[in-house]
């Protein structure tokens, strides 16, 4: 006989400093990094660096 599985709910932490604008910039940065690594393009790498340092 086994113990029944326990279901637990995890709440996300409220982060007031993480605005929609910042999250949008983070997604764009991650997208540019993925493209820069995949293509190996110098232009994409420079665009990623610019987005990363904003």
Both tokens assigned to 15: 């982060």
pLDDT in tens, 2-53: 889 999 999 888 889 999 999 999 999 999 999 999 999 999 999 999 999 9
Can you give 29-54 as a three-state secondary structure string?
Answer: HHHHHHHHHHHCCHHHHHHHHHHHCC
Does the predicted model carry a pTM greater than 0.75? no
Select the more confidently predicted residue: 54 or 43.
43
Q: In the prediction, which pLDDT does 12 show? A: 84
């Amino acid at each position: 006989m086994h113990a029944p599985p326990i279901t637990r709910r995890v709440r996300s932490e409220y982060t007031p400093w993480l605005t929609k604008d910042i999250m949008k910039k983070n997604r764009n940065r991650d997208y540019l990094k993925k493209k820069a690594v995949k293509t190996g393009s110098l232009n994409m790498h420079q665009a990623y660096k610019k987005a990363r340092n904003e």
